[in-house]
Amino acid sequence: MRGLLAVVVVFIAALGPPAGRGFVPPPAAAAQLVTDPRFILQTQAGLAAYAQLTTTIPLNLAAGVYVTLTLTNDDYLLGDYQLSGRSLADAVKLMIHREGWAVAFHPPYVHAGRLLDWLPYDWQGNPGFVLNLPEQAIGELAAALGVTSPTVSFADFRNPSAEWVYLHWMLKLGYGTSDSTLMLPLLSPIFDRGYGVATNGYTAQFWLNGEIVQQVAGGTPANQFRWGELSSSQLRSGYTNALEQKTTTFFTSASSGGVGVVGTGGGLCFAALTAS
């Protein structure tokens, strides 16, 4: 049964190593010191958002934005950043350098589906733009510094050759199914595949190629979220993958589900089908 509205949204962002003062990727023999920020990022960071926010940041004042500081020196700060209105479970790592740049990142074990973040989502029918947690952290830091509309870039420190991150998700209002298709390029290396699914009411399911990937039941609080990794046999390259987001109870006002992919080379070919 088709519901009243189904929406498919896609987002592609270029990935690349951060560049700028103190931020140039080092040669293989460099970045050996534990306190070197490049070494920290190469060993502790995964998916990340970064920006040059200003020319200088007073670190003694910037320290106040952290919920926990794990490393401080004359050049930069590193610690846990708790986003506004969010629990510690949603905290990200944040590095702030005295020369004005900042990087917010997930640990290496966090998969691309976690970039789908539904808490700020408009469940009333306007999917808008779903900001990921690292990007939100950079935006909040920029606001605290009085910087408007910062230029945020992305990187995957686990995979230096990664060139893009791709998010593809569906919103289903009310009872029924939203479906879509996605083809990943056959000859392009894929480094990471992940999924996310959310509901703000009762039971919702995310299906991939005729198999259920995750079921989420509403609870307390009503908004419930799940994320996880996908294998290459679940989300296949060179194949038209069928995605379905199902709201299985009449009382659910909305649910959403989708995938995140990190890769390099080639372009993504997809056809999105929305139900009405």
Which one is predicted more confidently, 265 or 127? Answer: 265
Give the start-to-end residue ranges of the domains of the chain. Answer: 5-12+163-263, 17-156
CATH of domain 5-12+163-263: 2.60.120.260
Q: What would the pLDDT profile of 132-158 be if each residue is shown by its tens digit?
A: 899 999 999 999 999 988 888 888 999
* Model pLDDT, residue 12: 58
3-state secondary structure the chain: CCCCEEEEEEEEEEECCCCCCCCCCCCCCCCCCCCCHHHHHHHHCCEEEEEECCCCCCHHHHHHHCCEEEEECCCEEEEEECCCCCCHHHCEEEEEECCCEEEEECCCCCCHHHHCCCCCCCCCCCCCCCCCHHHHHHHHHHHHCCCCCCCCEEEECCCCCCCEEEEEEEEEECCEEEEEEEEECCCCCEEEEEEEEEECCCCEEEEECCEEEEEECCCCCCCEEEEEECCCCCCCECCEEEEEEEECCCCCCEEEEEEEEEECCCCCECCCCCCC
* Model pLDDT, residue 200: 77
Judged against a pLDDT cut of 90, whether residue 171 lies above it is answered with no
- What pTM does this model have? 0.83
